[in-house]
Structure 1
Protein backbone atom coordinates (compact mmCIF):
# COMPACT_ATOMS: atom_id res chain seq x y z
CA UNK A 1 0.00 0.00 0.00
CA UNK A 2 2.81 2.42 0.91
CA UNK A 3 4.57 1.94 -2.43
CA UNK A 4 1.27 2.17 -4.32
CA UNK A 5 0.40 5.47 -2.66
CA UNK A 6 3.86 6.85 -3.35
CA UNK A 7 3.49 6.00 -7.04
CA UNK A 8 0.01 7.54 -7.16
CA UNK A 9 1.19 10.74 -5.49
CA UNK A 10 4.22 11.03 -7.75
CA UNK A 11 2.00 10.68 -10.82
CA UNK A 12 -0.62 13.11 -9.55
CA UNK A 13 2.07 15.57 -8.53
CA UNK A 14 3.47 15.45 -12.06
CA UNK A 15 0.06 16.22 -13.50
CA UNK A 16 -0.95 18.57 -10.68
CA UNK A 17 2.20 20.64 -11.09
CA UNK A 18 0.99 21.54 -14.57
CA UNK A 19 -2.21 23.02 -13.17
CA UNK A 20 -2.23 26.80 -13.33
CA UNK A 21 -2.95 28.28 -9.93
CA UNK A 22 -6.42 29.91 -9.99
CA UNK A 23 -6.62 33.58 -9.16
CA UNK A 24 -9.16 36.37 -8.84
CA UNK A 25 -9.41 40.02 -7.90
CA UNK A 26 -11.04 39.20 -4.57
CA UNK A 27 -9.96 40.55 -1.22
CA UNK A 28 -8.66 38.05 1.37
CA UNK A 29 -11.38 35.65 2.46
CA UNK A 30 -13.27 35.69 5.75
CA UNK A 31 -13.28 32.08 6.99
CA UNK A 32 -15.75 32.66 9.85
CA UNK A 33 -18.50 30.57 8.19
CA UNK A 34 -16.14 27.58 8.04
CA UNK A 35 -15.03 28.27 11.61
CA UNK A 36 -18.64 28.15 12.80
CA UNK A 37 -19.26 24.80 11.10
CA UNK A 38 -16.09 23.28 12.52
CA UNK A 39 -16.88 24.38 16.06
CA UNK A 40 -20.36 22.89 15.69
CA UNK A 41 -19.50 19.52 14.16
CA UNK A 42 -15.89 18.66 15.10
CA UNK A 43 -14.78 17.79 18.63
CA UNK A 44 -11.47 18.66 20.27
CA UNK A 45 -9.98 15.33 19.13
CA UNK A 46 -10.69 16.07 15.46
CA UNK A 47 -13.55 13.60 15.09
CA UNK A 48 -16.40 14.71 12.85
CA UNK A 49 -20.14 14.25 13.37
CA UNK A 50 -20.90 13.68 9.70
CA UNK A 51 -24.58 12.98 10.32
CA UNK A 52 -25.07 16.39 11.92
CA UNK A 53 -22.71 18.09 9.44
CA UNK A 54 -24.84 16.84 6.55
CA UNK A 55 -27.79 18.81 7.95
CA UNK A 56 -25.70 21.96 7.46
CA UNK A 57 -24.70 21.01 3.91
CA UNK A 58 -26.19 24.20 2.45
CA UNK A 59 -24.15 26.35 4.83
CA UNK A 60 -21.02 24.47 3.83
CA UNK A 61 -21.91 24.92 0.16
CA UNK A 62 -22.27 28.70 0.64
CA UNK A 63 -18.75 28.81 2.06
CA UNK A 64 -17.38 26.67 -0.76
CA UNK A 65 -19.13 28.82 -3.36
CA UNK A 66 -17.47 31.86 -1.83
CA UNK A 67 -14.08 30.14 -2.07
CA UNK A 68 -14.80 29.25 -5.69
CA UNK A 69 -15.11 32.91 -6.67
CA UNK A 70 -12.41 34.29 -4.34
CA UNK A 71 -9.13 32.61 -5.28
CA UNK A 72 -6.00 34.28 -3.88
CA UNK A 73 -3.95 36.80 -5.80
CA UNK A 74 -0.46 38.25 -5.36
CA UNK A 75 -1.79 41.14 -3.28
CA UNK A 76 -2.61 38.66 -0.52
CA UNK A 77 0.12 37.88 1.99
CA UNK A 78 1.73 34.45 1.92
CA UNK A 79 -0.15 33.61 5.13
CA UNK A 80 -3.49 34.67 3.63
CA UNK A 81 -2.89 32.54 0.56
CA UNK A 82 -1.78 29.44 2.46
CA UNK A 83 -4.67 29.81 4.91
CA UNK A 84 -7.08 29.89 1.96
CA UNK A 85 -5.70 26.71 0.41
CA UNK A 86 -5.55 24.72 3.67
CA UNK A 87 -9.13 25.63 4.55
CA UNK A 88 -10.23 24.94 0.98
CA UNK A 89 -8.62 21.49 0.96
CA UNK A 90 -10.22 20.49 4.24
CA UNK A 91 -13.64 21.96 3.45
CA UNK A 92 -13.83 20.32 0.02
CA UNK A 93 -12.76 17.03 1.61
CA UNK A 94 -15.72 17.33 3.98
CA UNK A 95 -17.99 17.97 0.99
CA UNK A 96 -16.67 14.85 -0.75
CA UNK A 97 -17.41 12.75 2.33
CA UNK A 98 -20.88 14.24 2.81
CA UNK A 99 -21.72 13.65 -0.87
CA UNK A 100 -21.19 9.93 -0.25
CA UNK A 101 -22.35 9.64 3.37
CA UNK A 102 -23.75 7.49 4.86
CA UNK A 103 -22.69 4.27 3.22
CA UNK A 104 -18.91 4.61 3.46
CA UNK A 105 -16.50 3.64 6.22
CA UNK A 106 -13.45 5.23 4.57
CA UNK A 107 -12.72 7.94 2.03
CA UNK A 108 -11.14 5.17 -0.04
CA UNK A 109 -14.57 3.54 -0.41
CA UNK A 110 -15.43 6.49 -2.65
CA UNK A 111 -12.61 5.51 -4.98
CA UNK A 112 -14.02 2.01 -5.40
CA UNK A 113 -17.30 3.51 -6.62
CA UNK A 114 -15.73 5.77 -9.22
CA UNK A 115 -16.35 4.71 -12.82
CA UNK A 116 -14.65 7.64 -14.56
CA UNK A 117 -11.82 6.97 -17.06
CA UNK A 118 -8.36 7.80 -15.61
CA UNK A 119 -9.91 8.57 -12.20
CA UNK A 120 -8.73 5.95 -9.73
CA UNK A 121 -8.99 7.58 -6.30
CA UNK A 122 -11.23 10.12 -4.54
CA UNK A 123 -8.33 12.57 -4.72
CA UNK A 124 -8.59 12.52 -8.53
CA UNK A 125 -12.26 13.53 -8.75
CA UNK A 126 -12.59 16.98 -10.32
CA UNK A 127 -15.56 18.11 -8.24
CA UNK A 128 -13.93 21.41 -7.20
CA UNK A 129 -14.31 24.62 -9.15
CA UNK A 130 -12.09 27.58 -8.26
CA UNK A 131 -11.45 30.58 -10.47
CA UNK A 132 -13.28 28.90 -13.33
CA UNK A 133 -10.99 25.84 -13.20
CA UNK A 134 -12.14 22.32 -12.47
CA UNK A 135 -9.82 20.83 -9.87
CA UNK A 136 -9.36 17.84 -7.61
CA UNK A 137 -7.85 17.52 -4.15
CA UNK A 138 -4.52 16.40 -5.61
CA UNK A 139 -4.35 19.63 -7.64
CA UNK A 140 -4.69 21.66 -4.44
CA UNK A 141 -2.22 19.66 -2.36
CA UNK A 142 0.45 18.73 -4.87
CA UNK A 143 -0.01 21.27 -7.65
CA UNK A 144 -0.46 24.34 -5.47
CA UNK A 145 0.35 23.97 -1.76
CA UNK A 146 3.43 21.73 -1.99
CA UNK A 147 4.61 23.44 -5.16
CA UNK A 148 4.21 27.06 -4.06
CA UNK A 149 4.75 26.99 -0.30
CA UNK A 150 7.86 25.62 1.36
CA UNK A 151 5.93 24.60 4.48
CA UNK A 152 6.17 20.96 5.64
CA UNK A 153 3.80 21.65 8.55
CA UNK A 154 0.91 21.59 6.09
CA UNK A 155 1.12 17.80 6.45
CA UNK A 156 -0.10 18.25 10.03
CA UNK A 157 -3.03 20.37 8.83
CA UNK A 158 -4.40 18.80 5.63
CA UNK A 159 -6.98 16.17 6.49
CA UNK A 160 -7.95 13.08 4.47
CA UNK A 161 -10.91 12.13 6.72
CA UNK A 162 -9.05 9.10 8.12
CA UNK A 163 -8.25 8.18 11.70
CA UNK A 164 -4.51 8.11 11.01
CA UNK A 165 -4.47 11.53 9.38
CA UNK A 166 -3.92 14.67 11.45
CA UNK A 167 -7.02 15.71 13.40
CA UNK A 168 -9.37 18.15 11.70
CA UNK A 169 -8.91 21.31 13.71
CA UNK A 170 -12.22 22.50 15.16
CA UNK A 171 -11.53 26.05 14.12
CA UNK A 172 -10.63 27.62 10.79
CA UNK A 173 -7.05 28.52 10.01
CA UNK A 174 -6.56 32.29 9.98
CA UNK A 175 -3.65 34.24 8.55
CA UNK A 176 -2.72 36.19 11.67
CA UNK A 177 -2.42 33.00 13.76
CA UNK A 178 -1.37 30.53 11.08
CA UNK A 179 2.16 29.96 12.36
CA UNK A 180 0.94 29.25 15.90
CA UNK A 181 -1.88 27.03 14.61
CA UNK A 182 0.51 24.94 12.49
CA UNK A 183 2.90 24.56 15.43
CA UNK A 184 0.04 23.46 17.66
CA UNK A 185 -1.15 20.96 15.04
CA UNK A 186 2.37 19.54 14.76
CA UNK A 187 2.74 19.26 18.53
CA UNK A 188 -0.64 17.56 18.98
CA UNK A 189 -0.02 15.18 16.09
CA UNK A 190 3.50 14.16 17.09
CA UNK A 191 2.48 13.53 20.71
CA UNK A 192 -0.65 11.53 19.85
CA UNK A 193 0.31 7.93 20.63
CA UNK A 194 -2.28 6.59 18.17
CA UNK A 195 -0.34 8.31 15.39
CA UNK A 196 3.25 8.45 16.66
CA UNK A 197 4.58 6.21 19.45
CA UNK A 198 7.86 7.72 20.60
CA UNK A 199 10.34 6.49 23.19
CA UNK A 200 14.02 7.39 23.45
CA UNK A 201 14.94 3.94 22.08
CA UNK A 202 12.37 3.61 19.29
CA UNK A 203 10.12 6.01 17.43
CA UNK A 204 7.25 4.46 15.48
CA UNK A 205 6.07 7.39 13.40
CA UNK A 206 3.14 8.16 11.18
CA UNK A 207 3.61 7.07 7.58
CA UNK A 208 3.06 10.74 6.70
CA UNK A 209 6.62 11.34 7.92
CA UNK A 210 7.78 8.71 5.42
CA UNK A 211 5.51 9.49 2.46
CA UNK A 212 6.43 13.18 2.60
CA UNK A 213 9.89 12.72 4.07
CA UNK A 214 11.49 14.80 1.35
CA UNK A 215 9.33 17.81 2.23
CA UNK A 216 10.50 17.60 5.84
CA UNK A 217 14.18 16.84 5.26
CA UNK A 218 14.58 19.80 2.93
CA UNK A 219 14.53 21.85 6.13
CA UNK A 220 15.96 19.45 8.72
CA UNK A 221 16.29 15.74 9.51
CA UNK A 222 13.23 13.78 10.65
CA UNK A 223 14.84 13.36 14.08
CA UNK A 224 14.96 17.14 14.46
CA UNK A 225 11.31 17.48 13.43
CA UNK A 226 10.37 14.94 16.08
CA UNK A 227 12.44 16.67 18.75
CA UNK A 228 11.01 20.07 17.88
CA UNK A 229 7.53 18.96 18.90
CA UNK A 230 7.76 15.71 20.88
CA UNK A 231 7.71 15.65 24.67
CA UNK A 232 10.06 12.64 24.41
CA UNK A 233 13.37 13.41 22.74
CA UNK A 234 15.21 11.00 20.45
CA UNK A 235 18.69 10.83 18.94
CA UNK A 236 20.15 9.93 15.59
CA UNK A 237 20.69 6.45 17.04
CA UNK A 238 17.02 5.95 17.87
CA UNK A 239 15.44 3.25 15.74
CA UNK A 240 12.81 4.75 13.39
CA UNK A 241 9.85 2.76 12.12
CA UNK A 242 6.45 3.67 10.69
CA UNK A 243 2.91 2.72 11.69
CA UNK A 244 0.34 1.09 9.47
CA UNK A 245 -2.13 3.69 8.24
CA UNK A 246 -5.74 3.44 9.45
CA UNK A 247 -8.02 4.71 6.68
CA UNK A 248 -11.19 4.27 8.76
CA UNK A 249 -13.41 7.37 8.61
CA UNK A 250 -12.69 9.94 11.32
CA UNK A 251 -16.34 10.05 12.34
CA UNK A 252 -17.71 10.01 15.85
Structure 2
Protein backbone atom coordinates (compact mmCIF):
# COMPACT_ATOMS: atom_id res chain seq x y z
CA UNK A 1 0.00 0.00 0.00
CA UNK A 2 1.42 3.39 -0.97
CA UNK A 3 1.15 6.47 1.26
CA UNK A 4 0.33 9.83 -0.24
CA UNK A 5 3.22 12.22 0.58
CA UNK A 6 0.81 15.20 0.76
CA UNK A 7 -1.29 13.44 3.38
CA UNK A 8 1.86 12.64 5.34
CA UNK A 9 2.93 16.29 5.25
CA UNK A 10 -0.49 17.55 6.33
CA UNK A 11 -0.63 15.01 9.16
CA UNK A 12 2.85 15.93 10.37
CA UNK A 13 1.99 19.63 10.21
CA UNK A 14 -1.22 19.08 12.19
CA UNK A 15 0.61 17.08 14.86
CA UNK A 16 3.25 19.80 15.10
CA UNK A 17 0.58 22.47 15.59
CA UNK A 18 -1.08 20.39 18.31
CA UNK A 19 2.28 19.92 20.04
CA UNK A 20 3.13 23.64 19.89
CA UNK A 21 -0.35 24.59 21.13
CA UNK A 22 -0.05 22.11 24.01
CA UNK A 23 3.33 23.51 25.00
CA UNK A 24 2.01 27.07 24.81
CA UNK A 25 -1.03 26.22 26.93
CA UNK A 26 1.11 24.52 29.57
CA UNK A 27 3.54 27.44 29.65
CA UNK A 28 0.62 29.81 30.29
CA UNK A 29 -1.04 27.52 32.84
CA UNK A 30 -1.50 28.31 36.51
CA UNK A 31 0.16 25.03 37.49
CA UNK A 32 3.31 25.60 35.44
CA UNK A 33 3.82 29.14 36.74
CA UNK A 34 3.15 28.13 40.36
CA UNK A 35 5.65 25.27 40.16
CA UNK A 36 8.39 27.59 38.86
CA UNK A 37 7.59 30.23 41.49
CA UNK A 38 7.60 27.55 44.20
CA UNK A 39 11.06 26.33 43.16
CA UNK A 40 12.34 29.92 43.19
CA UNK A 41 11.04 30.73 46.69
CA UNK A 42 12.37 27.45 48.10
CA UNK A 43 15.78 28.25 46.68
CA UNK A 44 16.11 31.87 47.79
CA UNK A 45 13.81 32.45 50.82
CA UNK A 46 14.58 31.13 54.29
CA UNK A 47 12.95 32.06 57.60
CA UNK A 48 11.34 35.11 55.99
CA UNK A 49 14.65 36.45 54.65
CA UNK A 50 15.58 36.68 50.98
CA UNK A 51 19.00 35.98 49.44
CA UNK A 52 19.03 39.16 47.34
CA UNK A 53 22.80 39.08 46.83
CA UNK A 54 22.69 35.59 45.32
CA UNK A 55 19.75 36.56 43.11
CA UNK A 56 21.59 39.69 41.97
CA UNK A 57 24.62 37.61 40.97
CA UNK A 58 22.50 35.28 38.82
CA UNK A 59 19.35 37.03 37.60
CA UNK A 60 18.34 34.51 34.93
CA UNK A 61 15.70 32.72 37.03
CA UNK A 62 14.04 35.83 38.48
CA UNK A 63 14.16 37.62 35.12
CA UNK A 64 12.44 34.69 33.42
CA UNK A 65 9.67 34.68 36.04
CA UNK A 66 9.29 38.46 35.84
CA UNK A 67 8.85 38.33 32.05
CA UNK A 68 6.41 35.43 32.32
CA UNK A 69 4.26 37.44 34.73
CA UNK A 70 3.82 40.11 32.08
CA UNK A 71 2.78 37.64 29.37
CA UNK A 72 0.32 35.53 31.37
CA UNK A 73 -3.24 35.24 30.09
CA UNK A 74 -5.66 34.75 32.98
CA UNK A 75 -8.83 34.40 30.91
CA UNK A 76 -9.21 30.69 31.72
CA UNK A 77 -8.08 30.96 35.36
CA UNK A 78 -10.43 30.17 38.24
CA UNK A 79 -10.87 32.70 41.07
CA UNK A 80 -8.36 30.87 43.28
CA UNK A 81 -5.89 30.60 40.40
CA UNK A 82 -6.11 34.37 39.90
CA UNK A 83 -5.64 35.08 43.59
CA UNK A 84 -2.62 32.76 43.81
CA UNK A 85 -1.14 34.19 40.62
CA UNK A 86 -1.41 37.80 41.80
CA UNK A 87 0.08 36.98 45.22
CA UNK A 88 3.03 35.11 43.71
CA UNK A 89 3.46 37.75 41.01
CA UNK A 90 3.53 40.54 43.60
CA UNK A 91 6.20 38.77 45.66
CA UNK A 92 8.35 37.96 42.64
CA UNK A 93 8.16 41.56 41.40
CA UNK A 94 9.22 42.89 44.82
CA UNK A 95 12.21 40.55 44.89
CA UNK A 96 13.06 41.26 41.25
CA UNK A 97 13.02 45.01 41.81
CA UNK A 98 15.24 44.81 44.92
CA UNK A 99 17.68 42.48 43.15
CA UNK A 100 17.75 44.76 40.11
CA UNK A 101 19.06 47.66 42.22
CA UNK A 102 20.92 45.69 44.88
CA UNK A 103 22.60 46.61 47.17
CA UNK A 104 19.82 48.57 48.89
CA UNK A 105 19.40 49.18 52.61
CA UNK A 106 15.64 49.46 52.19
CA UNK A 107 13.08 49.19 49.37
CA UNK A 108 12.28 52.84 50.10
CA UNK A 109 15.78 53.76 48.89
CA UNK A 110 14.42 53.28 45.37
CA UNK A 111 12.08 56.15 44.53
CA UNK A 112 8.54 55.06 43.64
CA UNK A 113 9.23 51.43 44.55
CA UNK A 114 5.63 50.71 45.52
CA UNK A 115 3.55 53.49 44.02
CA UNK A 116 5.15 54.83 40.83
CA UNK A 117 7.22 52.19 39.04
CA UNK A 118 4.96 50.08 36.81
CA UNK A 119 5.39 46.45 35.88
CA UNK A 120 3.70 44.34 33.22
CA UNK A 121 1.28 41.95 34.94
CA UNK A 122 -0.84 39.70 32.73
CA UNK A 123 -0.78 42.35 30.01
CA UNK A 124 -1.50 45.33 32.30
CA UNK A 125 0.89 48.03 33.48
CA UNK A 126 0.56 48.14 37.27
CA UNK A 127 2.50 49.55 40.19
CA UNK A 128 2.90 47.25 43.18
CA UNK A 129 0.30 49.27 45.08
CA UNK A 130 -2.16 49.00 42.19
CA UNK A 131 -1.55 45.25 41.92
CA UNK A 132 -2.17 44.75 45.64
CA UNK A 133 -5.23 47.00 45.89
CA UNK A 134 -6.97 46.60 42.52
CA UNK A 135 -6.36 42.90 41.98
CA UNK A 136 -6.58 41.56 45.54
CA UNK A 137 -7.79 43.83 48.34
CA UNK A 138 -10.68 45.61 46.62
CA UNK A 139 -12.14 42.66 44.68
CA UNK A 140 -11.91 40.11 47.49
CA UNK A 141 -11.82 42.19 50.72
CA UNK A 142 -9.67 39.64 52.55
CA UNK A 143 -7.28 40.94 55.22
CA UNK A 144 -5.32 37.69 55.14
CA UNK A 145 -3.61 38.83 51.94
CA UNK A 146 -1.44 41.14 54.05
CA UNK A 147 0.22 38.09 55.60
CA UNK A 148 1.35 36.53 52.32
CA UNK A 149 2.55 39.62 50.45
CA UNK A 150 6.21 40.66 50.50
CA UNK A 151 7.36 44.21 51.23
CA UNK A 152 11.11 43.50 51.37
CA UNK A 153 11.29 44.90 54.92
CA UNK A 154 12.02 43.37 58.33
CA UNK A 155 8.67 44.52 59.78
CA UNK A 156 6.71 42.79 57.02
CA UNK A 157 5.04 39.48 57.98
CA UNK A 158 7.65 36.77 57.28
CA UNK A 159 7.66 35.76 53.61
CA UNK A 160 6.92 32.09 52.97
CA UNK A 161 9.63 29.93 51.41
CA UNK A 162 7.09 28.50 48.97
CA UNK A 163 4.57 29.72 46.42
CA UNK A 164 0.87 30.12 47.09
CA UNK A 165 -0.98 27.25 45.39
CA UNK A 166 -4.57 27.66 44.16
CA UNK A 167 -5.64 24.29 45.52
CA UNK A 168 -4.14 25.13 48.95
CA UNK A 169 -5.10 28.80 49.00
CA UNK A 170 -7.40 28.83 52.05
CA UNK A 171 -5.07 26.61 54.05
CA UNK A 172 -2.01 28.73 53.22
CA UNK A 173 -3.74 32.05 53.91
CA UNK A 174 -4.90 30.81 57.30
CA UNK A 175 -1.53 29.27 58.09
CA UNK A 176 0.51 32.43 57.34
CA UNK A 177 -1.98 34.71 59.11
CA UNK A 178 -2.05 32.49 62.20
CA UNK A 179 1.74 32.30 62.25
CA UNK A 180 2.20 36.08 62.22
CA UNK A 181 -0.56 36.89 64.72
CA UNK A 182 0.79 34.40 67.29
CA UNK A 183 4.35 35.70 66.97
CA UNK A 184 5.16 37.68 70.13
CA UNK A 185 7.68 39.86 68.32
CA UNK A 186 5.36 40.73 65.46
CA UNK A 187 2.24 41.28 67.59
CA UNK A 188 3.11 42.53 71.08
CA UNK A 189 0.63 42.09 73.90
CA UNK A 190 1.43 44.02 77.12
CA UNK A 191 -0.91 42.46 79.66
CA UNK A 192 0.21 44.65 82.58
CA UNK A 193 -0.78 47.82 80.70
CA UNK A 194 -3.78 46.31 78.93
CA UNK A 195 -2.28 47.30 75.59
CA UNK A 196 -1.47 45.60 72.31
CA UNK A 197 1.15 46.96 69.94
CA UNK A 198 0.26 46.18 66.34
CA UNK A 199 2.09 46.49 63.07
CA UNK A 200 1.29 49.69 61.20
CA UNK A 201 -0.27 47.44 58.57
CA UNK A 202 -3.33 47.50 60.84
CA UNK A 203 -3.31 51.30 60.71
CA UNK A 204 -2.53 51.78 57.01
CA UNK A 205 -5.15 49.21 55.95
CA UNK A 206 -7.57 49.64 58.86
CA UNK A 207 -10.63 49.04 56.70
CA UNK A 208 -9.46 45.54 55.78
CA UNK A 209 -9.66 44.48 59.45
CA UNK A 210 -12.72 46.38 60.72
CA UNK A 211 -15.44 45.46 58.24
CA UNK A 212 -17.36 43.35 60.79
CA UNK A 213 -15.99 44.57 64.11
CA UNK A 214 -12.80 45.79 65.73
CA UNK A 215 -9.27 44.93 64.67
CA UNK A 216 -8.81 42.94 67.88
CA UNK A 217 -11.88 40.85 67.08
CA UNK A 218 -10.46 40.16 63.62
CA UNK A 219 -7.08 39.20 65.10
CA UNK A 220 -8.66 36.90 67.70
CA UNK A 221 -9.98 34.65 64.94
CA UNK A 222 -6.38 33.48 64.49
CA UNK A 223 -4.98 33.86 68.02
CA UNK A 224 -4.42 30.94 70.37
CA UNK A 225 -4.50 33.31 73.36
CA UNK A 226 -7.29 35.81 72.73
CA UNK A 227 -6.68 39.51 73.32
CA UNK A 228 -9.30 41.22 75.51
CA UNK A 229 -11.33 43.53 73.29
CA UNK A 230 -10.95 46.45 75.73
CA UNK A 231 -7.16 46.53 75.32
CA UNK A 232 -5.77 49.79 73.94
CA UNK A 233 -4.26 49.52 70.44
CA UNK A 234 -0.90 51.12 69.68
CA UNK A 235 1.25 50.86 66.54
CA UNK A 236 4.97 50.23 66.77
CA UNK A 237 7.47 51.82 64.39
CA UNK A 238 7.82 50.01 61.07
CA UNK A 239 11.34 48.78 60.31
CA UNK A 240 11.92 49.27 56.59
CA UNK A 241 15.42 47.72 56.66
CA UNK A 242 15.84 45.12 53.95
CA UNK A 243 14.78 41.58 54.95
CA UNK A 244 18.03 40.19 53.67
CA UNK A 245 19.30 36.74 54.43
The TM tier, using the shorter chain, reads: 0.7 to 0.9
- Check the 8 A contact 1:71/1:130 in 2, yes or no: no
Deviations 1:72-112 (A, max 9, x none): 22x4221111000000111000011001101x10000112x
Aligned pair 1:48/2:27, yes or no?
Answer: no
| 1:120-135 alignment, distance < 5 Å | 121-135=112-126
The secondary structure found in structure 1 opposite 2:207 is helix
How many residue pairs were aligned?
216
Aligned residue in 2 for 1:15: none
1:199: how far off?
Answer: 4.4
Structure 1 unpaired stretches of 5+: 1-24, 112-120
Alignment partners' CA distance in 1, 2:31 and 2:67: 12
Give secondary structure in 2 for the equivalent of 1:98.
Answer: helix
Runs (4 or more) in structure 1 with deviation over 4 Å come to none
**Equivalent position of 2:220 in the other structure:** 227
Q: Would you say 1:93 and 2:86 are equivalent positions? A: no
Checking the alignment, whether the CA contact within 8 Å between 1:162 and 1:249 is kept in structure 2 is yes
- Residues 164-216 of structure 1 show CA distances to partners (whole Å, capped at 9, x for unaligned) of 01111100000011111111111111122232112453211111112111111
| TM-score computed with the length of structure 2 as normaliser | 0.82
| SS of aligned partner of 1:123 | coil
Question: Secondary structure of 1:122's partner?
Answer: coil
**Structure ID, larger Rg:** 2
Matching residue of 2:234:
241
Q: Is the 8 A contact 1:196 1:243 kept in 2?
A: no
Deviates more, 1:191-200 or 1:233-242: 191-200
Q: Distance in 2 between matches of 1:130 and 1:158?
A: 16
| Greater alpha carbon shift after TM alignment, 163-172 vs 135-144 | 135-144
The 5-angstrom pairing of residues 1-252 of structure 1 reads 26-30=28-32, 31-43=34-46, 45-73=47-75, 75-102=76-103, 104-111=104-111, 121-200=112-191, 201-252=194-245
CA RMSD of aligned residues (A): 1.8
TM-score (norm 1): 0.80
218-227 or 178-187, which moves further after superposition?
A: 218-227
Contact 1:199 1:234 in 2 (8 A): no
Instruction: Work out whether residues 83 and 174 of structure 1, in 8 Å CA contact, stay in contact via their aligned partners in 2.
Output: yes
